[in-house]
A and B are shown apart, each in its own frame.
Chain A
C-alpha cells in the first residue's frame, strides 16, 4: 500500500468523461423509470381488475421479473432477444428496456398497494355525485394513489440508477465503462474506480435524502 504512487491526474484530467458517463446513467434511469411507471400502472390495473384473464398473466409477469437477476435480464435482452429476433439493438436501448422491465415488476406492486390503500368510500362518494368512471379514475383515484406511491417510487428510481451501471457490460459508455477504459489504458484501476464510487455514492445519497424529505413532507400534510 503506497499512497504516494497514486496518480489522481488521470481522473482529474478526464472529468468531462466521467460527467458524461454519469449523465448517461441518469438518463437511462429516468427513461427506464418513466416506462416502468407506465407499465407498472397497467399491470397494477390488471391485478386489481378482478378478472382472472387479466390478473393471472400480470401476476406471472411480476413474479418472473422479480425472480430474475437484472444482469441476466440485461444479457437476455441484449444478446438473447436480439439473436432470436435476428435484429440488433443499440446497447443503450437494450439497457433501458431491461431497466423498464425490472422496474415495472416493482412499480406494479407499489401501485397495487397504493390503489388498495384508498378508502372505498371515495369511489362510492364519487359515484353518488354522478361522476363517470373515467373521471373518477383520473380525478379521484389516480392523484391519491400517486401520492401514496411517491416515496416507494423514489426508492425504485434509486434502485434503477444503481442498476444502470450494469450497462457497462454491454458497452454502454456510462461511468463504469469510462472507468474501465481509463483503468485498462493507463493501468490506474484504483484511481478510476474510486472516482466512480465517490461520484455514485454522492449522487445516490443525494437522491435518497431527497426521497426521504419528500416522504416526510407528504406525511406532514
Chain B
C-alpha cells in the first residue's frame, strides 16, 4: 500500500470510531446540562446575595465568586473527587463529582452574568413597580427578573458552551465522555492525531452551533 492509501485508511478507521465518540457525547451532555441547570439556580442565588443590603452577606457572596472563579475545573475536580472524598470518607461517583465541580465553578460566572443583567435593567422599572404597591419580592419576580433574564440570555448560552468545553476534562476521573473515549481508542489503535482531530471537530461543531445561537439571541432580543 502506498502512503496516500495508508493515510486515507487511517482517517477511515478514525471515523469508524464515531459511534463510540457519540456514545461518549451523551456523558458530555449529561454532565454539562445538569451542571448548567444547577449553576443557573445557584448563580441566581449568589447574584441576589451580592445585591443584598446587608454588607456581610454581600461580602461573603463576593468572596464566593472570587474563589470559585480563580481555579480551573481540573483543580476542582481533583480536589473534590480525591481530596474532599478522602477527607469525608465517602466514595464519590465520578459523574457526581464532575457535576459538583462544574456547577460550583460556573455558578460564580453565572452569578456575575445575572448581577450585571439586573443592574442593567432601568431602576425606574423597580421604582414604578413599588409605586404601584407591589411588594419587593413581587416587583423582582414579575418586573425585574423577566427583563434581566432576557438581557442575560445570550451570555448564559455562551457560558453553556464554556461548560461543554470545560467538561472535556472529566475523563481524568473516569467519566467516559467523548474526549475520554477518543483517548482510550487512540491508546489502542495509535491514531492519536486522527482521533483527537475527530473529537476536536465534534466539539467545534457543537460549540460553534451554540455560539451562533447566542449571537442570534443577542441580535433578536436587542431589536424587539
Chain A interface residues toward B at CB < 8 A? 1-2, 6, 63-64, 66-73, 75-76, 79-84, 162-163, 165-166, 168-169, 176, 179-180, 183, 187, 189-194, 196-197, 200-201, 203-205, 208
Q: Say whether A187 contacts B86, CB under 8 Å.
A: yes
Chain B interface residues toward A at CB < 8 A? 66-67, 69-72, 74-75, 78-79, 82-89, 164-166, 168-169, 172, 179, 183, 186, 190-197, 199-200, 203-205, 207-208, 211
Q: Say whether B168 contacts A69, CB under 8 Å.
A: yes
Task: Give the docked Cα–Cα distance between A45 and B89 (Å).
Answer: 55
Contact among B71, B83, B183, B208 with A190 in the assembled complex (CB-CB below 8 Å): B83
Q: A1-B88, A166-B72 are in contact. List 9 more A-B contacts (CB 8 A).
A: A67-B165, A67-B211, A68-B207, A72-B199, A80-B192, A162-B70, A179-B78, A193-B82, A203-B70
Q: What residues of chain B lie closer than 8 Å to A200, measured between beta carbons? A: 70-71, 75
Task: Say what secondary structure dominates the interface of chain B.
Answer: helix
3 smallest beta-carbon distances between A and B, as pairs: A204-B70, A84-B193, A67-B204
Q: What residues of chain A lie closer than 8 Å to B89, measured between beta carbons? A: 1-2
Contact among B70, B74, B87, B203 with A208 in the assembled complex (CB-CB below 8 Å): B70
Contact among B87, B194, B200 with A73 in the assembled complex (CB-CB below 8 Å): B200
Q: What residues of chain B lie closer than 8 Å to A197, measured between beta carbons? A: 71, 75, 79
Q: Say whether A190 contacts B168, CB under 8 Å.
A: no
Task: Give the docked Cα–Cα distance between A82 and B179 (Å).
Answer: 18
